[in-house]
Structure formats: structure tokens, C-alpha cells
Structure 1
Amino acid sequence: MWDRQEKIERNPILISDDHRNSNPLELRSLPELIHEKASLYPDKVALRFRDYAITYQKLNNSVNQFTRLLADYGIKQGCIVGLAVDRSPEMVIVLLAIIKSGAAYVPLDPEYPQARIEFMLEDTKAGFLITEEKYGNRFHYEGKLILMQDLLRQVQQYATSSPEIDIDMDNLVYILFTSGSTGKPKGAQITQRGLVNFLVEMQYEPGLDENDRVLALTTISFDISGLELYLPLITGAEIILTDAQTSKDTRLLMEIVKKEEVTVMQATPATWRMMLESWEERLPIKVLIGGEALSKRLAERLLEKCDSLWNMYGPTETTVWATYKRIYADDEIITVGRPICNMHVYILDTYLKPVPDGTVGEIFMGGVGVGKGYLNRPQLTAELFMDDPFSDIPGARMYKTGDLGRIVNGGEIQCLGRIDHQVKIRGYRIELGEIEHTLGKQKGIKDVVVLPKDERLVAYVVLEKDQHPRFAQWQQALRTTLPEYMIPSNFVTLPAFPLSPNGKVDRNALEAMRQEMEKANRVYIAPRTEQETLLADIWAELLEVDQVGIRDDFFELGGTSIVAMQIMARLERETGKRLPLAGLFTANTVEKLARQLELDDLSISWDLLVPVKPTGNKPPIFIVNGLDMNVLLFNNIARNVDPDQPVYGFQSKGLNGVDEPFETLEDMAAEYIAALLEKGFTDKYALAGYSYGGIVAFEMARQLQAMGKQVKMLAMFDTYAYNRGHFETGLPRYIRKIKRQFPKLLFVTGSLMRQPMETLRYQQAFFQRKYNEFAVYMGLQNPQPVDSAEDKINEKYEAAYRKYHMQPCDACVIDLFRVDTRLYFLDDPIYLGWKPYALKGLVVHNVKGNHKTFLMPPNDKDFAILLQQLLDKRMKPDADT
């Protein structure tokens, strides 16, 4: 092994944690380490199961007896033994006996389908299968079948002394099957040396001692069970073993944690989320989490309840967990930390060259934990297990994980998802290709693609000609060969798959296509009440559809912000009730909106801050609407940003027709900030404003900065900043107006040539508005009455803008989104007047569309993608503001 200094000199991208300088060649076997603890703590409880407890001495003696008994059955070093038994103390003892005999075990969860277990037995050529009487006739198996009940009857006649067996540390200790992309699971081969190195390192960090009590809830078919079953026994700690049913019920698990005073528990994020539902008081427990990405929000929730939180990472092929990181509440980036001792991580490009810190590459792993490859898969083994060019140890290999990552925080690993189509659902690693292969063999299916969605699997199916869907039959067929976590919960039939330009299935377009199909095939449920009938008729007319059912989604029917305004205006005329446009975010069906109409006026929410899309773990963005006051327009952004990106909007005060609008722009910004602070968001903000709303967002940034808050992003959605002309009087005012007429004439002439109809319509409306203003000024006509709440707000807000003195601000860089199609003249078409006010800098981003259309289809998608990229960049902890 190189020491840390040598590694840094040779290659700064290599990461390894050799702080203890342990020598993998000197590691003792797992049975030796357990025997040592049994001698040290003979009367201490080693394992509890329900009301049963077994001491270290009793456990070790039983393992010795079972090892001798298995030897008489012919199980010895180099053998492969299948194990399909229920969770019990005997399961643990037999596992340890197999290991002590020098053989390798194949964990077979009895709940797995018969065909899958039989494939594993056949693929491993397991010479022995240890199972229970109730499973004895279930499997078609040609090797030697050993029943647990027979072992229990025979074992007492064997000596309790430790048999003399010289275990080869480079021999296999287990073969664990993971999902396979070719339609068959593949067996990862793990060595005794790799397992012991992992266990010894876990004793140090996250750390375990003889006073700990570890909850063992994971099926032995999941490699992380090795930590729960073996780590306590080499430490002198106590195992609290659960049965299969309890392991699936997080309420029961929480009861056991409290009752048994568990101090260490490991689980996937999905399990921890469910545990939190029944977790009340803070507990003195060390939480280990892995198997899926750990979100910032979940980390925060767990840290409120536990003593410490450790994020773990490692593919099955590199022996359970290969890296670890203690997570703290103030961590800006969630990482998986650094490798355990005798393991290394490399971030490489497609040419297997190290990439610089901060650059994304593929994660490769080297060290003693790297397994021997896949059983009976020489081609796949050669592809993913390769010579380690960064190691001085002869024969050293590294594993190509297929995970993207980068080095941050001076040497920590940040995981960024999968390169291929392998996914993790509830902690289980799944090759989607295996499900597709199996499903594709079913009758009537021509083609199939499986994708993950919200912790579940969705199968998209193209049927053979004249065939009909058989969802229930397909699921039943899958259950004969696949475990439950690999069964799609949803099936969507499509006439054909969308293709990318290179002729491959465009997986990203499948979800949009599903929504279109559901819209076309939605189930019609007729209105039941007078209110529902009124709403359904209005929706049908304004959305221009034949009929609207009470559970049809407004947005899926093609609802836009403009149509929403028309609907609400019609409703006010028909019912006398005024509803907020923002209400359509939650009351998005006729059924829900009818309930809103039935509420008393006092129950209807006109909050300033509107949750357009409140879900997600990324920092939220807060958008201020323009003078159209249509916050629903931001739904186009929310539907196209990342699923994990929350979006909030502000709606104007006074929209309910009762409250008075703000008198000054400063008051407006202050009230919007108060609405933010009331909700308890963080002290780092991403602000944006559309048109007039950009000026309000600018003032909000100024006020937030004065409060000591940090504005990380300030985005202007086609906002023009120039308003000095409102304060000019006399000759300077007229000189400025005269000077701009010639460039304005040139602009209008060019616009007429580029887009004649749009320009004529705009200029006609402009001159009509100017004529009306002049006629009112000269007394030729009366002012238009201000009837609607929107008109009243507009009048107040325009006055507030004319009174607002803009001052330069250094809160952060200003991102200016500038449309590429302009129908009206601007004095500063390049920077839209922002250059003098952006003391930290101004970045201009061109977007498609004009001032009205750049946030609408089809431009909204490209706009949202650009916005998300900037959000991710600006909201990074190390981003320069």
C-alpha cells in the first residue's frame, strides 16, 4: 500500500483513507475474531430474538458444533452452500458455521420467487442447499438437500471445541446476486479478506464497541446485512434480530428500538422516511443510511432525532460499504465522504484518466474489497473488473461502478446518480433491463420499457397487433421469476415508443407521452351537483373540449394562465364569488373547485406567498409576478424544472377586491419578505421577477441584504430597469423624448419588416392607449372607470413604480433573461437598463419568444431548463454571489 503522502504526490485525484495503516495481509478470519470475543465476553448476550437470548459462549459453541456437523455432510473449504431459511438465531449460527468451514454461502430469501432461487442454485452449481421442511419440496434442485430440522436434531452430539480449519482469506465467503441487465441476475463473488477488512474498519468509524446494541432487520440477500450480523460479534456488542414481518413494519421497528434500547441501526432512505412517521422523541441512536441518495431534507429530519448520522456508499461488488461520512446539520453538500482503509476511489473520464477536483466523472473503486468478479460471467467481469493502473500491488483490480461523481470539500466524494439505466428502489439495486427482458417474453407484448417514478416502477408497453392488455396476468407472471420490489406497479400501453434522432427509444419523452395518452383515454365522471355542472360547462367552453368530468385535471386538459383568468372572471359573474387564480394549483379539478366555491369567503386563501410547486429538496425559487398579476403563469416553469425543485410565487395584495393594494414598491417588497420569513425558509434566497415583478424582486434583494440575509440569485425575467424619466421635468424631459424618436422610428420600421402583423397590432393598441390618455387630459372624454380589482391594483402599482427611486445594489450578480423578439422600442435593448444597478455584475441570457410568450409553450421548457441550470449554479454553497 502507498501511504497518504505518496498518493498525493503521484496522483492528486486518488482518494484513500489509510489513517490506521492496517495491513490487509495480516487480517485474521471472521471466525477467529468472533472466537476471540467469545473468550473475552463468555457470559455477555450476543444475540436476542423475541424473548430468546444467547450468550457469546453459547453462540460460539453452537457454531463449532454446526461446523463439525456440516463437515460430516461434506461441506468444507471451497464448497458453495445455498441457504434458504427463515430469520432466526439458527440462521445466524448456520451462516457462521458455513463461513467457519471455509465454504461460501449463497443467501436465498425464501420470499423470493421459486424460479429465481432455482436459477441461483443452478448458476452457482451449489453442492448443498440448507433449507427448512416447509420449503423442502418447493425447489427443483439436484444437489444435496439439508433440512434445518435435521441439523437441529443431530447437532447436540457434536463437540463444542473449535475445529482446526485453516481458512484461506482470498477464498470466497459469499456469492450475492444482484439484478442483471441481460434478464438474469448476476452473482458477485466476495472474499473473506474483503469482508473482514470492511468489518474491522467499521469498528473504528462509524464506530462500535461492546456496549452497543445493533438492530438486525435486513434480509441476508441484501449485502448490508453483513454489517448487522457480523460487526457486533467481532466487537462484543449485542445483535437485536427481527423476524421478516417485523422488518417490514416500521412502527414495530420503532417499538423495538425503544424497548431494546438499540444504539445502532442501518437502513435505506426509504425505510428511514417511514420510521420518521412514528418517531417522536430524540433517541440515543447512531443512524447509518445508504443504498440510495440521501437528501438534505431527510438528513435534517434524522439529525433532529438521533445522536449521529452516517452516510454510507458502496456497490455489492466492492463488499458492502466502501466509503462513509458523518453528516452534520450545517453540511451544505451531502457527500459519501472518503473510502475506508485499504480501499481507494478514483474519479475517471471515459479514457480512464483522472479528472480534476470538482469535475464530474465515473466512480471507480480499488482495494481489498473489490470482489472476484461475477460468477460465470467472464465477459461482464472483464468489462467491469479491470486492472488497477494506480496500484503498486500485483494483480490489484478496480471496479467500474457506473455511478457519476466528483471530488468536493477537499477530498470527499459526491455521488451524482447512475450513468446507465440501473436504478435503486427502496435500497434495492435494479437493472431495468432484467425486468424488460422478463416482461417482453409475455404473450401480447411487442416491446417494453421500464422506468422508475416516485419510488415505484412503471412499465411502458407496446402491444402486438390485435392484442389486449393483460396487466394482472403480466404481474403474476413476473412474480414467478422476480422479487416483489422488481414488479412494476403501473402499466401504460402506447401505440409506439417515441424515438430519438439516432433511432433509440427516447425514454425522457415517455412520461409526457403517457400523460397525453391518459388525457385522451381519461375516464369521464359526470357532474353531480349544480355547482359542478356550472364549472364543467365553463371549463368545457373555455378549454374548448367536448365534455369535462369532475376529476379531470385543469392543466392536463390544456389549461393555461389566460384560460384560468377567464374561468375565474366568469365564475365571479355567475356566482358572485371571487376565487384566487392560485387556487387552481390545489383545486385543479371541477370537484375540488366546487368545494372551494362552497366555502365561506373568509375560508378562501389570498396569501401573498403561493406554493406553485412546494415539493422538493433543492433551495426554492421565489418569483414575483408582473402587472398581469397572473401567478398561474409560473406553473409553466414549475412543470418543466427538476422534480426536486420547489417553486413559489407572489400574488398581489387586493386581488380579493377587499384589501387595499400597496401604496409603495418598498412596502410591497417588505410585505413579500415578511411572508417569506413567516414560513421559516433559510437565510439564503433565490429571487426572480417577471416584468414589473423584477423591480420588486430587486427591492426585496436590497432589503434582505440590509437584514443580513444572503441573496444567492436575482433573476430578471425580461424586466426593464430604466425609470429615471419619471423624475425628469422641464426641458431635459423633452430633450430626451425628442432624441429617442429617430432610433425608435428605425426600430419600428425594422420590426414591421420582420413581423408585420404582430407589430401592427401592437402599434395600434399603443396609439389607441396614448390617444385615450390625451383625450382624457384635454377633457375630450371621461376617464375609464376603475371597476375591477386588477385595474385598481394596476393603477396603484404604476404609481408606486413612478415614485420608486432605484439605487445600485451589490447583493449578488443579476441574471437578465432577455427575449429575442421585441415589439416595442427600448433605449437600452442590450442590458435593458440594468448595467448601472448591478454592482456585482450582470449576466444576460437570451430566451426564445416575446415579452408575453417566452414563459408559454413551446418556449417554457427551454426557459425552465436554463433557469434550473442557473439555479443549481448560483445556489451552490461555494457560488460567488
Structure 2
Amino acid sequence: MWDRQTKFERNPILISDDHRNSNPLELRSLPELIHEKALLYPDKIALRFRDHVLTYHKLTNSVNQYARLLAEYGIKHGCIVGLAVDRSPEMVVIMLAIIKSGAAYVPLDPEYPQARIEFMLEDTGACFLITEEKYGDRFQYKGKMILREDLLRQALQYPTTPPKIDIDMDNLVYVLYTSGSTGKPKGAQITQRGLVNFLVEMQYEPGLDENDRVLALTTISFDISGLELYLPLITGAEIILTDAQTSKDTRLLMEIVKKQGVTVMQATPATWRMMLESWDKRLPIKVLIGGEALSKKLAEKLLEKCDSLWNMYGPTETTVWATFKQIHGDDEIITVGRPIGNMYAYILDSQLRPVPDGVVGEIFVGGVGVGKGYLNRPELTAQLFMDDPFSDMPGVRMYKTGDLGRIVNGGEIQCLGRIDHQVKIRGYRIELGEIEHTLGKQKGVKDVVVLPKDERLVAYVVLEKDQRARFAEWQKALRRTLPEYMIPSNFVTLPAFPLSPNGKVDRNALEAIRQEMEKANRVYIAPRTEQEQLIADIWSELLQIDQVGIKDDFFELGGTSIVAMQIMARLERETGRRLPLAGLFTANTVEKLASQLELDELSISWDLLVPVKPTGNKPPIFIVNGLDMNVLLFNNIARNVDPDQPVYGFQSKGLNGVDEPFETLEDMAAEYIAALLEKDFGDTYALAGYSYGGIVAFEMARQLQAMGKHVKMLAMFDTYAYNRGHFETGLPRYIRKVKRQFPKLMFVTNSLMRQPMETIRYQQAFFKRKYNEFAVYMGLQNPPSTDSAEDKINAKYEAAYRKYHMQPSNACIIDLFRVDTRLYFLDDPIYLGWKSYALKGLVVHNVKGNHKTFLMPPNDKDFAILLQRLVDKRMKPEADT
């Protein structure tokens, strides 16, 4: 094993791990590496397909024969060869023969639509198309067509010795098409050097040796198939190749894994989730996962079943996987780790400047694996493939991935979704614009927006005047040009699209509109199951309503945040299941809430960003909750602001009783920003925070400003800013405490005269709390139980606040909502400590109520009206930030 020397520069630039002497200029070609292993393991099985096996000796002999035959056809350096054949041993042999001839191939899955395959052939200018007899009449192709059956017969006449062909490592090895935003796919050009570097690095880590068996299930039109087909062959390992039908049936795949003793398997999260359904016992298998985000829940389930789990990341344009990370059960954050050898990763802002650790930016990838750009797309290539300013090697480029990320854990990359509207469905990268472009050309369609929803696609369509929906016709037309995974499974027709303030379609509002349309046609339906009956009975009792149907909406029935807390507490007592309070925004009916109870605990969503009211054309406001953690309280705001004002809330991490709360306030703000940036809300934000949440919103504004984003509104809902006292020690701390006692006494005296009962209750609770703290300190009683998730979060968040050093900010004007009824003493009752921190100014707004009641009826309506006026004022395009 080589001695690994790690070379890593401090963030925000991630430098690859360099080990051995893997100089990319000294890499040998893929055919050379496979030939070496064939000499070392001639009689070892290289490839197994059903009952058919190929030894390394037989495989290389066949590749040599095919390469010589292809040379006779005229396939050589500079040629691009289309390959549209079924999955079989011959497919692998032909791919290797094309590479050995010095040419490049473009993989064409025969299951893809004819029009898509013909476009790829035309766009590449493919000199040759290798296909099968059954597909011979399918394609309108002007070049030379070669049939697999002919090759199989003719190749036997050629010598098995390697042909004398010099391979230029900087030449293309394949062109792989990815979804394009303009309605046409784009061909990423990958070099021999990039592919070999990737394979050599994967051989080292995650690691492969001659005793491994690798399951090859991925279509060759998906670039990760390169690992499954080539990595075993440069290692002396065995390929277990599946046919197209088997690769789609996870039950059959699991049978193969067990029967054939597969030790390494690679798949997308969607495939692994399906595999788990038939995975009954732990297996000695190494799991590679990539293509879309890996959730902590899925990681935990896989770790129970496999030997090791590796999270992989890399765009097609940078040669399969660019980074990797072994995932462990105690990982708090799921990351994609660090770059492989001779690859580099940078987290940059919009000006291509590195951002600090923990701050979100765009992921750029540099190094040997960066391809030559897009075939015949010079403008797009120039836009996304650019000179690498962080490399001292001339001509080196980096790729702008369009993925958001940040550096955590001392140097690992955490991926945070897409900047644009590109999505991944079941591991396939999809430009929604390509589907929209194609669907928009169909009869009757005036405008269309396509969005992902739970591993499927939903098309929202505005019809031409006097036209009707033609769902079946549209799907049929799409299938003529798009693969199956790009066909929307659901269509929703609308009279018009909701628009954002900048005149663009408000995509965030479309899903809520679909739900509202479904809601309009609901009628009373009685409970059908024990769970539904239990929930309906609890709602009926606590909402004081005689009859509750399974389709009735909690909020429409008059549900409040207080009642919601009572409902969730009762359900936890009755069922032993803890559900997120914020879940009532989406699981807002008896039927949906019952479905949540039936889910596996790991499948329940505890998302940080909660859509309180996602519909509306105005800029949304994002509110951070306080230590009471009752995000449903923001529903009082949402119900009373303008109908077209979206409202979102942030809820605490750890409410599920499983995840650990944030350790620092900075981390809390960064995670909230990460959750915010996963959605497409633009670059300007309106932030607010209630109580403790105001401090978090303040830190969020600071971090967003550092990222080049614009915070145009920062509102404090009765938040006190002073915390310098936590850092005082010795005599200064004692003097400050003594000096505040007389004004505190005067405040309590005046408060008793104005509101005696409220003041007495507050002071009683205060002195009881202080006595208990003193008794614990003196050992007179045990510390209070912190078994509940809420108590644990409170303790962590209070500790985080004590460690947080506030610094003045010039992000924007700070708007302070100050209650007119105060039950506790403050050193600064006028500005609540904010004046020294608001460099751009502080505006105070008086609101009715005390710290707890100003957001509740009857004060909530007046508060919401005042807040709406402020949002409208601050978020105007010309508003001074």
C-alpha cells in the first residue's frame, strides 16, 4: 500500500489528496492498465453475464481483435463512434476496442427516444454508429452503420495480439450527453487522462482489489457506469454485469448480490432506498452512493446493512466522481468529503472569491478530470469552463458546477443543492427547461413550468385560449424526444402563473396552489382507521368541534399554536410517536397526520425551513423562532398579512429528539442559510427573528452579506441584544450587577403599580427559578431533568448565546418591534441594546402586548398590518439597504 501524504490548504480552497507518485502527466492509458492485469491474471474471470463468463485472457484477446477490425473500418484518432447496443459482454468489448483504437464513443441507450439518439449522432458528427440488427432500421443516420452481429463474426479472423496504436492521453475517450436548459442536451467531452486518473484514484480509495466483485447495473449513458466497467478491469477484480431489465428490479439485484457474492455496488439514493426493501440481513458489501443528495436517514439505514458506505460527488463534466467521503454512523453532517487525487474543489462567491469556512458559496471543480467543455457549444463552454486562478499550471481550467456548498468539519464539502432549476430525479440530472421547452411546443400549451415533487415531475400548464388539456397526447409527444425519467407524471392546468416581484414565475407558490385546488373540492369523510379516529377525537375535543372529517383543515377549524402543542403532546402520549409541530403546516388534515404517524421514524421530515404560507407574489419574509420553538405561532402572522405575502419560518434542530442541537450560534445561522439557499428565492431577503431568534437572524444577515447577498430588511421581534455581560469576569462583572439593582427595584415598583397581578406572577416565577438554581448549586436538590428534546435544545442554545460575540453590522437598517408591556427589567428599555450594533440605523416600532402576547390574538392582527407595511417599504427595488 502506498504511503499517503495529505496536502491540504486551509479553506476555502480544497486541495486534493496527493499520494504515491500519481503525476497526471505520467498516467498510462486505460488499455495499457487492463493489459497488465490480463498478463497477471490470465485465467481469472473478468466479466460475468448470466451464465456467460469471460476470463482476462479471453477479454483482452477479444478487445485486440475488435480493435484491429475497427481500424480496418477506419475508426482511429479523432473519430467519434456512436454506440447503441444492448447490455452484454460484447458491449464491454466494443467499448474497450473503441478506446484502444484511439477513438471516442458516445453512449446511446437503445431505450432512449429515437429523436434524442438521432440528435446526439448529428451533434457529434459521429463517423460511425455501432448498433444491432434489431435497431438497424430505427435511426435516420447518414454515416457508416456497423452491426454488432457483423463484428462478432468478422473479429474472429483477426490476430489476438495488441495493435500498435499510440493513445494520446489528452484526446477524448467519450462524449456523454446531459440535459440542456435550452431544450437540447449538451455533450460533455471527457479525456483519457481524466478517466484514468479517476480510476486510479478510486482504486486506492474507496478502494478495490483483485478479490472484489463489482455489480455493473448502470446504463452506459450515465457516466458512473465507467467505474463499474473499467475500475474492476484495471484491478484484477470481477464484473457482474446485469441486463437492462434486471437493473430496474431491485429484488433481482439483491438476489444477484447475495448469490454472486458482490462486494462493491454503486447506485443512486433512489435505487438504494428500493434495495433496502428486500435487504434482510447485513452483507459484506461496500456501498457507493451518489448522483443526488444522501440523507442522514438513508445513511443510517445503509450502515446497518453494509460493511462501509461512501458518499460520492462529481458532475459529468469533471469525470464521474470528483470527491468522496466514507460515512460513519456518528457523522453529524453528511458531506461529500474532499477531492480525489489531482482534483481540486473551491467554494467561491459570485465574484469568484473564496469564502470562509461555513459560508455558503458555489462549488467549482478543477484538476485533471475537468473535461474539454461541451461539444459544439463554445459560448456555454466559455461560461462554465474557465481558467483556474488558483493553479500555477498554465492552461488549467475549473468547472462552474452550479451546486451550492460550504466547508465544514475542518475541510470537507457539504453540498446544499442547485443554484438554478436543474434537479436530480432518481440520480439523473435534469434541466427542467428542456422539458418545459419540449412541452411548450405542444398543441394547446401557452406556458409551462415543470417542478420536482417526491421523486417525480409535475407539469403546471397554462392553456391557450379556448383550448383543452391533452395530457395523454402531451405525454406521448414527450416520449418521442425525452427519456422516461423526464416525463412528468402529473399535469396541473392553471389560468395563469403566480409571479414574483421581478416578473418571473413564482415557482415556490405553484405547489401550494395545487394543494389549494385539491382542497376546494373536498367534502366530509369520516375516519376510516384507528389512527384517523384517534386524531379526529383529539381534534374534536381540543378544538371543541362535534365532528371532524379526515379532509378537514386544522387551521380552517380554528386551530391555534397552543392547541397544536396540546394535540402533539396528546398524540405522543397515546402513540409514543413524536411528530414535528411544524408538520401541521403540511400534515394539516386528519388523513395526512395519520399518514405521518404510520411513517418510519427516520422518514419523518424535520426540515429547518418551514413553509408557513408559501403562496404569494411579494418577496417572502423569513422568521427565526425563539426558545419557545413554537413555529406555529408564525401562522398568526401569516393569516393577517396580505394574501400575496409569503411567510416562512425556521424551526430548531433537534426537536425530533435524535439530531443534536447546534453548538454555536454561528453554525445555527449557517445551517438556516443553507436551508434557505436550497430554494430559489433570489439574492435579496427579508429576515426577522422572535426573541432569541432575532440574534440568529442578525448573524444570518452578517453571513449573507459576506456571501454577496442583500438583506433589505432585518426585523427584531422584541429581541434584546445585550450579551457583553456574559464575557465579564471579576470586579467589572460585580460592579455592573450592583449598579443595576436600584433601577431594577424602581422598575419592579412601578410595574406593581401599573399591572400588579401580572408583575406578581412573573416575579414569583422568577424567584422560584433563582431559588432552584441556588439549591442545585448548593447540592440541596438534583438538577432539573433535561430529558425532553426542548430542554436539551434550550440548554444548548443558551450556551451558544453566551459564547456569541456580537459585532456591529452594516447589512441594513434594523427594525425593532418593541412591546408596550414589559414585565421584566432591561438595562436599555428604549433600544433593547441594538443602537450600537445597527450601523445603518435603528427604527423602533411600538406594538401592543407583552413579550408573549404581542403575536397572539387580539394583538396579532395589528402587529401583522404593521409588519406588512414595513416589508412593502423595505423590499421596494429602490429601498435603501
TM over 0.5: yes
Q: Counterparts of 1:47-446 in structure 2 under 5 Å?
A: 47-446=47-446
1:392 CA displacement: 2.8
CA distance in 1 between partners of 2:276 and 2:322 (Å): 26
Change (3 A) 1:245 1:404: same
More deviation, 23-32/497-506:
497-506
Contact 1:344-1:365 at 8 Å conserved across structures: yes
2:792 maps to 1:826: no
What is the aligned partner in structure 1 of residue 19 from structure 2? 19
Distance 2:199 2:85 in 1: 24
Query: 1:739 Cα deviation (Å)?
Result: 7.2
Aligned pairs for 1:839-878 within 5 A? 851-852=852-853, 854=855
Unaligned runs of 5+ in 2: 568-577, 611-623, 639-645, 669-690, 693-716, 721-742, 778-794, 803-814, 833-842, 868-881
8 Å CA contact retained: 2:14, 2:339: no
CA deviation profile, 1:590-635 (whole Å, cap 9, x unmatched): 779999xxxxxxxx99xxxx99994247799999989xxx998698
**Deviation string, structure 1 residues 368-416 (Cα, Å, up to 9, x no partner):** 1111110110100111111222223332211111112222333222222
Shift in CA distance, 472/39, structure 1 to aligned 2, threshold 3 Å: same
Q: Which moved more, 1:84-93 or 1:19-28?
A: 19-28
Q: Distance in 2 between matches of 1:593 and 1:344?
A: 46
CA contact (8 A) 1:614 1:647 kept: no
Farther off after superposition, 63-72 or 350-359: 350-359
Structure 1 CA distance for aligned equivalents of residues 247 and 6 of structure 2: 45
Residues 202 and 377 of structure 1, relative CA distance in 2, 3 Å threshold: same
What residue is the counterpart of 1:655 in the other structure? none
Q: Distance in 2 between matches of 1:176 and 1:201?
A: 21
Counterpart-to-counterpart distance in 2, 1:589 and 1:127: 60
Relative to 1, partners in 2 of residues 1:195 and 1:647: Cα closer, same or farther, differing over 3 Å?
Answer: closer
* Cα displacement string for residues 510-557 of structure 1 (whole angstroms, at most 9, x for unaligned residues): 22333333333x25466699x999x999999x9999x99955242475
* CA deviations over 1:684-741 (Å, ceiling 9, x no partner): 89999xxxx99xxxxxxxxxxxxxxxxxxxxx9999xxxxxxxxxxxxxxx9999756
Take 1:382 and 1:356, find their aligned partners in 2: how far apart are those partners?
27
Give 2:478's aligned residue. 478
Change (3 A) 1:88 1:415: same
Evaluate the alpha carbon distance shift between residue 741 and residue 618 of structure 1 in structure 2; reply closer, same or farther with a 3 A threshold: closer
C-alpha contact 2:654 2:660 (8 A) present in aligned 1: no
Q: SS of the residue aligned with 1:111?
A: coil
CA–CA distance in structure 2, aligned partners of residues 594 and 293 of structure 1: 28
Residues 29, 167 of structure 1: 8 Å contact kept? yes
Partner residue in 1 for 2:551: 552
- Matched with 1:813 is 799
8 Å CA contact 1:296–1:617 kept in 2: the answer is: no
Give the Cα–Cα distance (whole angstroms) in 2 for the partners of residues 548 and 482 of structure 1: 49
Q: For the structure 1 residues 92 and 582, does the alpha-carbon distance in structure 2 shift closer, same or farther, using more than 3 Å as the test? A: closer
Shift of 1:92: 0.6
Partner of 2:785: none
Provide, for residues 201-254 of structure 1, a one-character-per-residue CA deviation record: whole Å limited to 9, x for no partner.
111111111111111011000000000000100110000011111111112111
> Contact 2:7–2:15 (CA<8 Å) still a contact in 1?
no
Q: 1:641 to 1:274 in 2, by over 3 A?
A: farther
In 2, the alpha carbon distance for the partners of 1:337 and 1:261 equals 28
The 3-state SS of whatever aligns with 1:503 is coil
1:764-843 matched pairs, under 5 angstroms: 805-807=771-773, 812-813=798-799, 820=817, 822=819, 824-828=821-825
| Secondary structure of 1:239 counterpart | strand
Letter in 2 for 1:206: P
- Which whole-Å CA distance do the structure 2 matches of 1:461 and 1:558 have between them? 32
Confirm or deny that 1:615 pairs with 2:605. yes
Count of residues paired in the alignment: 716
Q: Return the TM-score normalized by structure 2.
A: 0.70
Q: Distance in 2 between matches of 1:217 and 1:644?
A: 40
Whether the 8 Å CA contact 1:169–1:191 is kept in 2: the answer is yes
Rounded to whole Å, the distance in 2 between the matches of 1:312 and 1:861 is 48
Mapping 1:679-828, distance limit 5 Å: 740=748, 742=750, 805-807=771-773, 812-813=798-799, 820=817, 822=819, 824-828=821-825
Task: Report the identity percentage.
Answer: 69
What amino acid does structure 2 have at the position aligned with 1:807? E
The 1-side partners of 2:191 and 2:752 are apart by 78
CA distance in 2, matches of 1:861, 1:852: 16
Residues 249 and 617 (structure 1), Cα distance of their counterparts in 2 relative to 1, 3 Å cut:
farther
In structure 2, the residue corresponding to 1:215 is in which secondary structure? strand
- Change in 2 beyond 3 A, CA 1:717/1:615: farther
| C-alpha displacement of 1:849 | 8.0
Tell me the secondary structure at the aligned position of residue 813 of structure 1.
helix
- Shift of residue 270, structure 1, vs aligned partner: 1.4
Task: Give the TM-score, by structure 1 length.
Answer: 0.70
Query: Partner amino acid for 2:70?
Result: L
The AA in structure 2 aligned to 1:422 is Q
Cα distance per residue 1:437-472 (max 9 Å; x no partner): 111111111111222222222222222222222222
For each residue in 1:778-820, what CA deviation from the matched residue of structure 2 results, as whole angstroms up to 9, or x when unmatched? xxxxxxxxxxxxxxxxx9x99999966442797633779x994
Task: Give the letter aligned to residue 54 of structure 1.
Answer: L
Tell me the SS of whatever aligns to 2:773: coil
2: CA distance between counterparts of 1:567 and 1:332?
31
Aligned mates of 1:492, 1:619 — CA distance in 2: 26
**Are the structure 2 counterparts of residues 440 and 643 from structure 1 closer, same or farther at C-alpha, using a change threshold of 3 Å?**
farther
Looking at structure 2, the residues matched to 249 and 511 of structure 1 have their Cα atoms a distance apart, in angstroms, of 31
Q: Given the superposition, is the C-alpha separation of residues 377 and 436 from structure 1 closer, same or farther in structure 2, using an over 3 Å criterion? A: same
> Which whole-Å CA distance do the structure 1 matches of 2:517 and 2:230 have between them?
51
Distance 1:681 1:528 in 2: 33
Distance in 2, matches of 1:249 and 1:855, equals: 53
The answer to whether the Cα contact below 8 Å between 2:608 and 2:650 also exists between their aligned partners in 1 is no
Query: 1-side partners of 2:299 and 2:853: how far apart?
Result: 41
Secondary structure of 1:35's match?
A: helix
Residue identity in the other structure for 2:318: T
Q: What corresponds to 2:701 in structure 1?
A: none
What's the CA shift for 1:200?
A: 1.1
Distance 1:559 1:860, change over 3 A: farther
Name the counterpart of 1:781.
none
Contact 2:625–2:631 (CA under 8 A) maintained in structure 1:
no
More deviation, 631-640/494-503: 631-640
Amino acid at match of 1:328: H
CA distance in 1, matches of 2:593, 2:16: 58
Asked if the contact 2:82/2:129 (under 8 Å) is kept, the reply is yes
Cα RMSD for the two superposed structures? 5.3
Map of 1:39 onto structure 2: 39
